[in-house]
Every structure is written in C-alpha cells, then in structure tokens.
Amino acid sequence: MSHSAIESVAFDTNNGRKSFVLPGAKPHYNPDRPGQVEHIALDLVLNIPEQSYSGTCSIRICPVRDGVDRLTLDAVNLQIDSVQVEDVEQPFDYDGERLQVRLKQPTEAGQPIMLVIAYRVEKPQRGLYFIAPTTDYPQKSVEVWTQGEDEDSRFWFPCFDYPGQLATSEIRVRVPRQYLALSNGELIDTQTAGDDKIYHWYQKQVHPSYLMTLAVGDFAELQDEWNGKPVTYYVEKGREADARRTMGKTPQMIQFFSETFGYDYPFPKYAQVCVEDFIFGGMENTSTTLLTDRCLLDERAALDNRSSESLVAHELAHQWFGDLVVIKHWSHAWIKEGMATYSEVLWTTHEYGADEAAYYRLETARSYFSEDATRYRRPIVTHIYREAIELYDRHLYEKGACVYHMIRAELGDELFFRAIHTFVNDNAHRTVETIDLLRAIDQATGRNLQPLFDQYVFRGGHPDYKIAYGWDGDSNLAKLTVTQTQAQEGNGLDSGLFDLRVTIGFGYIDESSSEKSASIKPFTVRIHEREQTFYFPLAEKPQFVSFDLGNHLLKTVTLEYPIAELKAQLQHDPDPVSRIYAAEALAKKGGLEAVKALAQAMQSDSFWGVRAEAADQLASVKLDQAFEELVKGLEDPEARVRRSVVNALAQIKRIGSYRALKKLAEAGDPSYYVEAAALSALGTVAAGKLEGKSKEEKVLKLYRSVLQERAGWNETVRSGVILGLSKLKTSEAALDLILEYTAAGIPQALRLAAIRALGAISTGQNNVNLERILNRLDELSRESFFLTQVSTSIALGQMETVKAIGILSALADQTPDGRVRRLAEEAIERVQKAVKQDQAVQKLQEELDQLKKDNQELKSRLETLEAKAK
C-alpha cells in the first residue's frame, strides 16, 4: 500500500517526544485458528444504481482439531440471510461486527467443511466503494472498487480477516454489460445474462483476505506483456496516453524486480487499475493493483514528476514483498512496506543512476526524521496500538526502507541480495515475521544482524552525531571528536546510545587533473559512547572529511569543520549527500565566503539535487549577496532546481524577490510545480510591507485571474494560488476567495487545498471571520469522504482557538476511519498547546501592563513628593 494524500505516539518518549501509544491502545495478537482457510469464493450481483449488492460467500476450512462447535467470522454491517454447511442451515448470532456460527456437527480434524453465507449489503461505508456522478460532480465516472488493507475486507464479505490466513480465492460477479469487472488471478469465464455480464476470476495462489479485490468500470484497456504474461493498464477512456506515460515501464520493472528478488514474477498477470476518489496512493492487491487516478501524468507533469513512477514501482515490488511473502501480523508490516519503499530507491538506481538514488534515500530519511521530530517516536515493530492502520506511517515505510539499506551496507551487495533471494524463496506463499528475515540473513550469509535490528527496529530513534574536526600539523594527525547528542547521560541500554561501526573518509584533491578528482582514504571506527575522540595518522593534511562514507547509516549530522574543509567538501566530495551536508554546515557559518561557495555549487554542481539544496541553504544566509546569487538560479534548466530557488526566494521578503516571483507567476513555467511554487511564494513575500507599501491588492488581482484561467492537471497550479492566499493572513478578501473554493462542486484537489488553507489563514483573522471559518469547517467535518475529513482535521489543527477542539472531538468520535481519528486527536493536542501558549502570552502581557501601571503610579507619587519637597 502506498500512503494517501495525508500531508504531505512503543513505549519510549525519548527526548520529550510524544508517545505513539494513545489512550485506548492495547496489545494485538492474531486470534486462535479453528482451522486453515483453504478457499474463499464470492458470487455477487451488483446493483450499481442502488449502490447495493447481494450474493454468497463460500469458505472452505480445514479444521486443525476435533470438536470445534462454533466459528467466529469478521463481518461488519452486512445483512446475513443464512448460513449453511453442506446444504444444512446452521444457527448463527450476529451483532453487526462478528458472525458466530454454531455448528450442528462439530468438526473433525483434517475433514474440510464448506461454509456458505448468503448476505446483502446496502450503501456500504467501507471495504467496497460505489463511485457515481452527483449533482455537485456530474462528470464523475461510475465505478465500484474495493480496499481491504488493513481490516476492511470484513465490510464487504464475511471472512477471517487477519493476514495470517492464506487461501486461494475466486470471485464471480454480475454487472451491467457495459462495464468491465476486474479481480485477482485469471479470468476463467465470462457469460452474458440479459443486459448483464458475469465475470469469473480465479486466484490459484494463496493470499490473505485483505488482498482480495474487485474493480468495476467502463475502462479503456491497454495491453503490454512480460515473458508471455499479460501486463494491462485500465484507465478512464480518453486517458490512454497518460496511462502509457505513467505505467509504460511496468514490463521493464517486472524484469528488474524478478532479477533483484531472485524469483520470477509469481502471478498469471499484472493489472493496474486507476480509479477515482481512491483513499490511498495505491494498493497492491494480488496481481491487480489499484492506483489513484491522480497519479496519471500528462505531458507537462511528466517533466519533473517522478513520484508516479515510484508509486508504480512500489506497488509492483509488493507483489513479492507482501503478496508472495505475506506478513503474519500487522506489527511486522515494515517487512513489506519498508522493502516496497526501498524498491523505489533500487529502481531509481537502475533507471537514473547512483546520485539520484542517494538523494532519493536522503529525502526518504528526512520524511521519517520529520515524523520522529514532530509527531512521535516508536519502535518499527510494535503490536500495541488502537487500530492497525495507525502503523502505516513514516516509521513503517521510510525508516523501514532505510533499515533495508543499512542491512545492505552492512552485508555488501553480493551477500545482501543473496539473503533477499533466500528470504523470498524460502517463504514464497507463506507468512513471515521479522525473525524470519533475520534467519534468512543468517542462513545465507552467516551474519547475525540482531544488534542492528535491536537498535533500529525494536526500539525508536536514531543517532544524532555532532562531528568536530581539527588537524595537528606537527604530528600529522587528524583529530575527530564525535558526540551522540541524542543520548542521555550514562552508557546503559536505556541511554539511547547507538553502537555502530562508521567509516570515515579523508579526501585528497588531485590538483594535476583538469577534473580535480578526489581520492579518499577510509578508516572504520566503532562509535558507541556519548563522546569519543579519534586520531588518524595521515601522510599529509586532507582537504576534506567525509563522515560515514557513502552515507549508509540512518542518522543526522552536524558538521563542525573549518570553512576551508567545508568548501572543499562541497566542491569535491564524490557523494552528493556529503556535498549537501557541507552546504548545510556552510550556511550555518554564514558570511560572504559561505555565500560564494553556495552560489558556485548552485550554479555549477553536476547534480541537480545539490544545486537545489544549495539554493535552499543560500536563502538562510541573511546577506544581500545571497539574494543576488539566488535569482540567477531561476535560469536553471532543471525544473526541480527552479522550484527550490522559488521556495528559497519566498524566505527573502524584499522587493527584488517580489518582482522576480511576480514575473515568473505571470509568465508561467514549463513545469506545473515551479509555476505553483511561484504563485504560493508570492503570497509569502507580499504578506509584509515592501519598501513601506503593501502589494496585497496587486497579488490578489493576479490570483483572481489565475483561479479563473489556469485550471489544469490535478489542480496543481490553482492549488498554488490557494496556498499563496493562505499566507495573506490578515486579508478578508483572501479569506473570501478561499471560502469560495471550499464549495461542493469545486474540483476535488483544489477543494481539499482550500479546506486546508482555512487553518493557515485563521491565525491572522478577526473574531467575526474566525467564526465564519469555524462554521465552514464544522459543516465540512460532517462530510463522509475520507480525504475531506483528513483536510478538515489538518485545517482545524492549525487554529489557535478553543472552539476548534469541539469540532475535532466530534469528528474523532464519528469518523469510521482510524487514520482520521488519530489525526483529529493529534490536532486537538496542537490546538490545546497553541491556546495555552496564547493564554500564557496574554497573562504575561497583562502582568507587564500592570507593572507599567504600577510604575506610572510610583513615578507620579514620587513626582508629587518631589514637588512637595521643593
């Protein structure tokens, strides 16, 4: 599964971080098994106009013991008509969540029984979704699609709904004949029945209930193939070119992952279906991935959007990690989600080279660091939560991916891939836990990586290194002092210390070659105390120092090197990530020399990622020269660098920035993203007075015209305007415009951006307008669409008024979605904190005013006394 459009707490509350564990969390375990589910067959008739369906679910189960006289199935909000075993009616109890079947004939071990449940569902809330045109959105397609992960299959058919049970499956479904119906496995039969068509799909490899899927719609079908197996893409008619552009590399990816994982693609076909209003980015249902239609690229989006290609790679990698090798329990989901995310890195290396992959990995790590710093810290593997979906966070995906990379760095490529091949081959069509990965590594390589897992998987956190460097010219020694700033005092297990082997490289620049290439002398040291000093004997003074050569460890670094070493590193270190760390350290030092070095990197580094980061760092140096150099970056041929320059200019609130951004915003840019960033940045810069004048009116005029004229791909450009409006915090006109775009009927992506923007603009509005915002968010919080609820929670969480808390509490109580509940509760905490700070500031202000008043009184009494004394 790939995370949805959510923006863009485990027991350790290390470093004052919030706990992952919220009130109501408890340990979760798989239930006892009455037997092995062998086969699940659904036979359904869809009534699409009525948004309902009916049919039977047949489950063949082979009991593991004698005398089982009741079976408990997961079944939520279904209407159960009857339960039979071998044509004999069975008594049952149903409470709306669990179906308890009382077997007339208790089981015999090893003698399979067939349970046949007749049931109906009207307007399902989860599990199976009916998409249809509405009065607000008349252009919507008619579609039906399912989403099972984590535990939502129980909302659309009765099942033993946990990942530990693997069975074969089949789905027969009757739909109006104009629609295609797609499901797992192979299409073994289609029949026409009056105005309807019956599709019969059969999945002959075992898989868990959460991966069973159904997708129905009037799709265009595009065909490819890999090794004779069909590779198909299904999209809304008219978007065939976008489908090829977005998914066209799938056959090459199947070849690449078959080789990488040491196991040929295991299923009879691979289909990707792009559906409307999907609640995730993508979902890896066995052999039939569902993707959001928002991932489809037009020609202009393809310029600088790699995320769709990564999404395609991510869901495809799951066919091995997740579908072929299945997790036994949700707490081990990092095995699949971490590898699917790391597969994005592997594919990036294969397709775009090592520099691109190194930068992709850095961005992956940053995504995790951000959650760790602002939301909570947790072990990757934990079975204590309220709902399994809470685990689907940046620890699971991004930190999980970084752990796979560390395993690879520790073993080296040959042994790493040998271990992965062993793991996949030994566990194909079976369930696994984290210990199985450790065992496969041990079996294939003889290495015991338990220490790494104990530090990075079974507890929270990562090392934060501060590195100071000096050179002793008399004795030719390099001195490095490394501090683990995350660690508490003491060296025990609970101190948060990491014990790792780290390679340190000393760089020498070959002045004789025209390229000025660098050679690096490596040393490996063990870093395991809070502070350690190392001395390295070197023949001559190095020009730069590369800490953690190759940057394989998941860590943060603060470099305390002299400016000369940082400049040399920024220019000559072969690793782009090390160059980026040098840029960050230079910017902190500030001064003209740093500006010159960063400007040179922004203009001439061979890799766009370093140019983009140098631009970002330039903006943080508060010197006029920084601005002059930055503007030159708007000419960079790489859109992703221009975007970084635009965002950097937004931090420099002066008339020059305003002019440069306005020119770009008016003229547009080949890239949607650069154009959107310029429009948004304009609001940031215009929010203050520039040379004593307000530019608000001019910016609002431009914004209005863009909102009217530049509708387009995924509403990227107009969403940039909405973001810009939200920066004009005191403007009532800006608020009026944002409110207008929260109306039903506004394209989904733009409407969601407007809803989120209400939170950002609220902090500068007067009380009357604050009420308008709260009333609108209160209305929106009652809508049932998942993404609307997410955006409403995000907006309310940015507010600084107690009244937001009531709306959030009601949303948390009423939503059926665990992710929304969690977001709403975290938002409540943020608002409470903001309100408290606000009240504390107010109290201080009142005390100050009182002091001033008291002082005034004292002063006047003194003056009166002095006057009397004269």
| pLDDT confidence bin for 351, thresholds 50/70/90 | very high
State residue 307's pLDDT score.
97
State residue 204's pLDDT score.
98
Alpha helices in 508-559 (DSSP H): none
Q: CB pairs under 8 A, 24+ apart, for 655-660?
A: 655/690, 655/691, 656/627, 656/631, 657/627, 657/681, 657/685, 658/682, 658/685, 658/686, 658/690, 658/695, 660/631, 660/634
State residue 492's pLDDT score.
61
Going from the C-alpha of 529 to that of each of 68, 526, 555, 698, the distances in angstroms are: 56, 9, 15, 58
Instruction: Say yes or no to pLDDT of 681 above 70.
Output: yes
| pLDDT confidence bin for 231, thresholds 50/70/90 | very high
Between vectors from CA 480 to CA 474 and to CA 484, what angle results, nearest 5°? 160
State residue 428's pLDDT score.
98
- Each residue's pLDDT tens digit, 159-209: 999 999 999 999 999 999 999 999 999 999 999 999 999 999 999 999 999
Instruction: Say yes or no to pLDDT of 88 above 90.
Output: yes
Least confident of 11-20, 96-105, 276-285: 11-20
Instruction: Say yes or no to pLDDT of 6 above 60.
Output: no
Mean pLDDT to the nearest integer, 505-532: 91
| pLDDT confidence bin for 12, thresholds 50/70/90 | very low
Residue 544 in contact with residue 515, Cβ under 8 Å?
no
| End-to-end C-alpha distance for the chain, whole angstroms | 86
| pLDDT confidence bin for 3, thresholds 50/70/90 | low
Q: What is the mean pLDDT of the chain?
A: 95
Instruction: Say yes or no to pLDDT of 10 above 60.
Output: no
Between vectors from CA 728 to CA 725 and to CA 730, what angle results, nearest 5°? 130
- Each residue's pLDDT tens digit, 645-662: 999 999 999 999 999 999
- Each residue's pLDDT tens digit, 24-37: 999 999 999 999 99
Residue of 781, 784, 782, 783 whose CA lies nearest to 827: 781
- Each residue's pLDDT tens digit, 317-341: 999 999 999 999 999 999 999 999 9
- Each residue's pLDDT tens digit, 422-431: 999 999 999 9
**C-alpha 44, offset from chain centre:** 34
The Cα–Cα gap between 56 and 73 comes to 15
The two tokens of residue 62 are: 């082979």
Instruction: Say yes or no to pLDDT of 868 above 80.
Output: no
Mean pLDDT to the nearest integer, 124-153: 97
- Each residue's pLDDT tens digit, 573-615: 999 999 999 999 999 999 999 999 999 999 999 999 999 999 9
State residue 857's pLDDT score.
83
State residue 495's pLDDT score.
83
State residue 666's pLDDT score.
98
**What percentage of the chain has pLDDT greater than the value 90?**
91
Cis peptide, bond prior to residue 150, ω within 30 of zero: yes
Residue of 797, 795, 788 whose CA lies nearest to 817: 788
- Each residue's pLDDT tens digit, 35-86: 999 999 999 999 999 999 999 999 999 999 999 999 999 999 999 999 999 9
Q: What DSSP string runs through 375-431?
A: T----SS--EESSGGGG-STIIIIIHHHHHHHHHHHH-HHHHHHHHHHHHHHHTTEE
- What are the φ/ψ torsions at residue 145 (nearest 5 degrees)? -145, 160
Residue of 672, 667, 725 whose CA lies nearest to 701: 725
The Cα–Cα gap between 149 and 225 comes to 28
- Each residue's pLDDT tens digit, 841-861: 888 888 888 888 888 888 888
| pLDDT confidence bin for 716, thresholds 50/70/90 | very high
State residue 851's pLDDT score.
83
- Each residue's pLDDT tens digit, 739-790: 999 999 999 999 999 999 999 999 999 999 999 999 999 999 999 999 999 9
| pLDDT confidence bin for 11, thresholds 50/70/90 | very low
- What are the φ/ψ torsions at residue 461 (nearest 5 degrees)? 95, -175
- Each residue's pLDDT tens digit, 440-493: 999 999 999 999 999 999 999 999 999 999 999 999 999 999 999 999 866 566
Starting at the earlier edge strand, list the strands of the sheet with 270-275.
219-226, 229-236, 270-275, 288-292, 282-283
Instruction: Say yes or no to pLDDT of 8 above 50.
Output: no
Instruction: Say yes or no to pLDDT of 682 above 50.
Output: yes
Instruction: Say yes or no to pLDDT of 348 above 70.
Output: yes
The two tokens of residue 90 are: 């069975």
The two tokens of residue 96 are: 């709306």
Task: Give the helix/strand (H/E) hosting 303.
Answer: none
The two tokens of residue 416 are: 């790493």
Mean pLDDT to the nearest integer, 270-274: 98
Q: Tokens 């395991």 label which residue?
A: 528
Instruction: Say yes or no to pLDDT of 870 above 80.
Output: no
